[in-house]
Chain A
Amino acid sequence: MYKYIIRRILVFIPMLFALTVIVFGLAMAAPGDAISGNELADPNVDPEVYEQQREALGLNDPVPVQYWDWISSAAQGDFGNSLVYNGRSVAELIEERFANTLYLGLFSLGITILVGIPIGIYSARHPYSLFDYGATGFGFLGLAIPNFFFGLIAIYLLSIHLGWFPAQGTLSGPGQSGFNELSDRIHHMILPGITLGLAGTATYMRYMRSEVLDVLGSDYIRTARAKGMSDTNVLYKHTLRNALIPIITLMGFEIGVLLSGAVITEQVFQYPGIGTLFLNSVTNRDFPVVMAIALILGTLILIGNLIADILYSIIDPRIRYD
């Protein structure tokens, strides 16, 4: 098993290298650069000034040279400075937002699992009941409603009109600490968390339902029942373990997805996270930021998948790696 993990981690290196080459190539192939910005240049600024800045930032160098400059410092852990956020270091920009994305991601994953899986199991145990139909209806609705729309409705109803939740941001003000900050943060996370988790909840619910139904109908469950095992035991000892395997695959992907941030949700709630930063950096051609985020996300997705693979072998002893 340890050998397997080490082998997998070694494979990360060429994969991530290929990732940087591809993303860098794409970033460079896009027309325009960071200096031309996302809006038009300021007419009061001499274009010569912009040209000088291009030269100073090395944007006029050939692409392979630029790539070499980037990768040689990135290999030493230095992701350079943002081209757009005047001189601010990439590490700082990402760090600032990563925590936000992490909190929100975990929060919504928590909602997804705590709500989606139990409902799925219940639905499977009582298929075609009123509850099951209700849950199915909710599932389709959850999948069908676009995030931004649900978010806006939630803001209008729950925060603007009823005032139960704050509409925007991660905190109500700077300078808080301790428990106050934590509760304020959670308070701010509820609406975006639900918005972000809605589609996931629906997906998990549907998956869980069909998996549990599937397993419940299999021979070994019948055998277990036949030998007089209690329903609870059948469910928790035999059914769930087997039903969880596809869910784990889903979660492996989910880690990457959640941490890549949810651009739309972040936008609607003005929740400063990685997603918005990534999108803005792409439109602004801020390639040092784009590269750093791509690299981080790539690594996280690989790790997520690795964790999922390891969890398989824990949940299902039939799966072994050596």
Chain B
Amino acid sequence: MIDFLMAHGWLIVTVIKVALMMFIVLTVNAYLTWFERKLVAHIQSRWGPHRVGPHGLLQPLADGVKFLFKEDPTPAGVDRFVYFLAPLLSLALALTSIAIIPFGPNPLPWKILGQDVYLGILPPDVNIGILALFAITALGVYGVALAGWSSNSKYPLLGGLRSSAQMISYELALTLSVVGVLLIAGTFNLTEIINNQTSRYGILGWNIFPQFLGFICFFIAAVAETNRVPFDLPEAESELVAGFHTEYASFKFAMFFIAEYTSMITVSSLCAILFFGGWLSPFPPTWTWTYYLPTLILLPFGAWVIWDGIRYETIFGKIILPGVGAVMCVIAIALIAFPALNGFIQAPFWLLSKIFVFLFVYVWMRGTLPRLRYDQLMAFGWKMLLPVSIANVVFTSFAILRWGGIR
């Protein structure tokens, strides 16, 4: 038995990692909906979800159960095979793209089944990281386009057409805006791209400074690729009911949403990795006190959650919230007590913080910006974004050739 486990160690560890990753990503997705509703509500001076559980924290669970038990009618005249394929394709591709993101430079401190376990699904020596991501993004259009076509209804068809046109247009700018980073790093490997941003001055080594233009183009194009506000033309509710997923109900509808939120996480990770130094700390490595930042943030937050839970009205909130807060405080103290653990947690801490910031920006934009008109969208993509990103490529190449580097 042990021999078998050791012989297939790599496969078993990978399968377990995939299962864990799926669980984590789906949970984060669920709470991302809560986060988005809460934040948009506060931007608009509302309360947001607050009935189910303390602060509405159980709302995602209730939504999930609702999605599972809703009736799921198949409209008349749909192309059954494609109609069922489209949400599956969307979700599968979105979840696959997460597998390529590395979440930390070092393997776990102990080996499992004789294997080094890295954070993230793929081993760090995959040389086509960013290209593989673009390949998955390129296929992502089909989920939306086919959903629109197969529904046999005019609004989804229009939504599907819009989305295909939009994604083709913005994919060019998306790919070209990354070329600057690739030229600086000289590799497609995401781990190496991050390591290339290491510097003595911390934040000053990040790609955002030489590649500010590239970052702006990348972020705008990525938001358009994920069909989020202000580029959510495929599902513009004032014009197209609900766009490409009008005819979908129950869990098939939920699958499109999970796919959308997962792509948001992927794009946020990519922004952090390509332009904001990935898991590198923004402070110079000589400032050792910054190693206690995770504790400094976690401890007061945990204490606040305990305090907030105790004065909560319902019994449930009184038990759950202080429990969660206590766990946070214990983790925070454990980080001080075990320096090895603290050292290991630094990289994921910074990467996850940066991802969180970009997720916040996503929701912030949704709460603030109005939707573009369709011709504005196309004109902006082709006449503004594409030339600027090409200019960025030309300038970066010139700088590297002329001065042997851009830093």
Partners in one complex: no
**A interface, CB within 8 angstroms of B:** none
**B interface, CB within 8 angstroms of A:** none
